[in-house]
């Protein structure tokens, strides 16, 4: 896949937004991180008149062959179950989406079951990846196809008028896959990236480290080649997230990432489109220990730190009320010029 060149973030819009914020009837920088968020949104959209009203959360779902190694406390069948529960509004993200006014779309990129629910976006590459300990997780063609799913799904969401794109995922075993991707691409020891995912025991965590180490040692993915990493230790939903990030950046639409799994996708997207990280917004600091390393390497600063470990896009959804409050301030607050400081009570 050729390296993608992106239009730069608008420095003029960023400066204009800061000037606009400084002109509001409040202390300079008084809104703290919300001002940083406003400036980042303006830079991505290229305007101080933020477009944030219509939003969509794309939740990519796929299974992972590596679960056969016993790396998760949750059975693989839960991916399929939760996909339907999410559509019914009965998962964490499903309930949150209703509360914050965000459409949720569930995309089957590789669920290991044949789901016929018409509300699903059916883009299955395969019934889950292969076990990356025994063989490469996917073919190069499958890696590219999964990226393409993410790109086209995101392009369709933008064409439908969505002004903010959020991404989440479903996939039992995907913290193992994400840890392998990040350990490779960031050139750090697996032990630094592997977390407890579904709240596994110390013994299973040590086994999970061994699984990631074995897969990386056996297949030796090229740390500079996103497709090779996906081919050898990747996941279909992570590849789809890569495509979503690229498509939103190309369109100048802000994309809000979730936690640890999304960070693996951003790191891969950076290999395909340098500086794409400037086009995404980091919602929260995941409980997974490797997320802090990845955030630092990417130069991202998460807005929230709620000790989340749910996935599904929950962290991204929790940013929306803050964005709505920010928009209300920008459109409804008095400016310094409006205030009569000569008023005598």
The answer to whether position 337 is within a domain reads: no
Q: Do residue 38 and residue 109 come from a single domain? A: no
Give me the active site residues, please: 312
Average model confidence (pLDDT) across the chain: 95
Residue 281, both tokens? 């917004």
pTM: 0.95
d(CA 194, CA 228): 20
Residue with tokens 């050139």: 187
Residue 5 counted as domain residue:
no
Helix axes 11-22, 33-45, angle to 10 degrees: 140
**What does the DSSP assignment read for 42-84?**
HHHHTSSS---SSEEEEEEEE--GGGGGS--SS-TTHHHHHHH
Asked whether 158 and 253 are in contact (CB, 8 A), the reply is yes
Same domain, 20 and 122: no
Average pLDDT over residues 260-288: 95
Starting at the earlier edge strand, list the strands of the sheet with 121-122.
Answer: 121-122, 103-110, 55-62, 164-170, 255-257, 280-282
**Would you say residue 340 has pLDDT above 70?**
no
Q: Are residues 84 and 43 in the same domain?
A: no
User: How many other β-carbons are positioned within 10 Å of the β-carbon of residue 330?
Assistant: 20
Which pLDDT does position 77 carry in this prediction?
Answer: 96
**CA pair distance 97, 102, nearest whole angstrom:** 5
pLDDT at 123 over 80: yes
Q: Is residue 158 part of a domain?
A: yes
Contact 165, 244 (CB under 8 A): yes
pLDDT tens digit sequence for 171-221: 999 999 999 999 999 999 999 999 887 677 888 889 999 999 999 999 999
pLDDT at position 32, please? Answer: 96
What is the model's pLDDT at position 200? 79
Confidence at residue 198, expressed as pLDDT on a 0 to 100 scale? 67
Domain count along the chain: 2
**Taking a C-beta distance cutoff of 8 angstroms, is the pair 65, 129 a contact?**
yes
Share of the chain above pLDDT 70, in %: 98
Q: What is the CATH number of the domain that holds 147?
A: 3.40.50.10210
pLDDT at 8 over 80: yes
Collapsed DSSP state (helix, strand, coil) of residue 225 = coil
How far is 38 from 14, CA to CA, in rounded Å? 8
The CA-based angle 33-303-103, given to 5 degrees, is: 120
Q: Give the residue numbers spanning the domain of 130.
A: 55-320
Residue 95 sits in the same domain as residue 174: yes
Confidence of residue 341 (pLDDT cuts 50, 70, 90): low
The verdict on residue 325 lying in a domain is: no
End-to-end CA distance of the chain: give it in Å, rounded: 68
- CA-wise closest residue to 286 among 207, 169, 208: 169
Domain shared by 36 and 144, yes or no: no
Can you give the pLDDT at residue 236?
98
Indicate whether 302 pLDDT > 70: yes
Give residue-wise pLDDT tens across range 310-325. Answer: 889 999 999 999 999 9
Domain identity same for 140 and 256: yes
In a domain, 113, yes or no: yes
pLDDT for the residue 171:
97
Q: Return the percentage of the chain with pLDDT > 90, whole number.
A: 88
Q: Within this chain, do residues 229 and 169 fall inside the same structural domain, yes or no?
A: yes
Q: How far is CA 293 from the centre of its chain?
A: 16
pLDDT at 280: 98
Same domain, yes or no, for 18 and 100? no
Region at 194 (left for phi over 0; alpha for psi -120 to 50; beta for the rest): beta
For residue 339, the SS3 value is: coil
- Do 98 and 25 lie in a common domain? no
The verdict on residue 130 lying in a domain is yes
| Residue 259, domain member (yes or no) | yes
171 and 34 within one domain: no
Nearest to 168 by CA among 97, 100, 113, 241: 241
282 and 232 within one domain: yes
For position 42, what pLDDT does the model report?
98
Q: Average the pLDDT over 2-15 and give the result.
A: 92
- Has residue 242 been placed in a domain? yes
* Confidence (pLDDT) at 199: 76
Are 308 and 181 in a shared domain? yes
Beta-strand pair 255-257/164-170: parallel
Tokens of 273: 């489109």
């Amino acid at each position: 896949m050729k390296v993608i060149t992106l239009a730069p973030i608008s420095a003029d819009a960023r400066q204009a937004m800061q000037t606009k914020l400084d002109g509001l009837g409040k202390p300079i920088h008084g809104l703290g991180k919300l001002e940083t968020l406003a400036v980042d949104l303006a830079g991505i959209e290229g305007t101080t008149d933020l477009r944030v009203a219509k939003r969509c959360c794309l939740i990519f779902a796929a299974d992972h062959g590596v679960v056969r190694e016993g790396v998760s406390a949750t059975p693989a069948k839960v991916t399929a179950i939760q996909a339907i529960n999410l559509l019914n509004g009965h998962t964490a993200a499903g309930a949150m989406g209703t509360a914050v006014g965000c459409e949720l779309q569930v995309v089957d990129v590789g669920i290991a079951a044949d789901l016929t629910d018409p509300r699903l976006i059916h883009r299955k590459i395969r019934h889950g990846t292969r076990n990356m300990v025994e063989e490469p997780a996917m073919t190069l063609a499958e890696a590219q196809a999964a990226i393409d799913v993410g790109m086209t799904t995101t392009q369709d969401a933008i064409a439908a008028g969505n002004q903010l794109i959020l991404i989440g995922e479903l996939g039992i075993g995907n913290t193992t896959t994400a840890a392998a991707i990040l350990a490779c691409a960031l050139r750090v020891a697996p032990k630094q990236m592997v977390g407890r995912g579904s709240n596994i025991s110390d013994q299973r965590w040590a086994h999970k480290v061994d699984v990631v180490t074995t897969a990386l040692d056996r297949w030796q993915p090229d740390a500079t080649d996103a497709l090779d990493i996906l081919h050898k230790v990747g996941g279909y939903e992570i590849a789809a997230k890569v495509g979503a990030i690229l498509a939103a950046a190309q369109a100048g639409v802000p994309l809000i990432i979730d936690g640890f799994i999304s960070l693996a996708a951003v790191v891969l997207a950076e290999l395909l489109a340098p500086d794409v990280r400037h086009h995404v917004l980091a919602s929260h600091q995941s409980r997974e220990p490797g997320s802090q390393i990845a955030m630092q390497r990417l130069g991202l600063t998460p807005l929230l730190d709620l000790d989340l470990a749910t996935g599904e896009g929950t962290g991204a959804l929790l940013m929306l009320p803050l964005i709505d409050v920010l928009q209300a301030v920008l459109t409804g607050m008095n400016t310094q010029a409006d205030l009569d400081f000569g008023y005598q009570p």
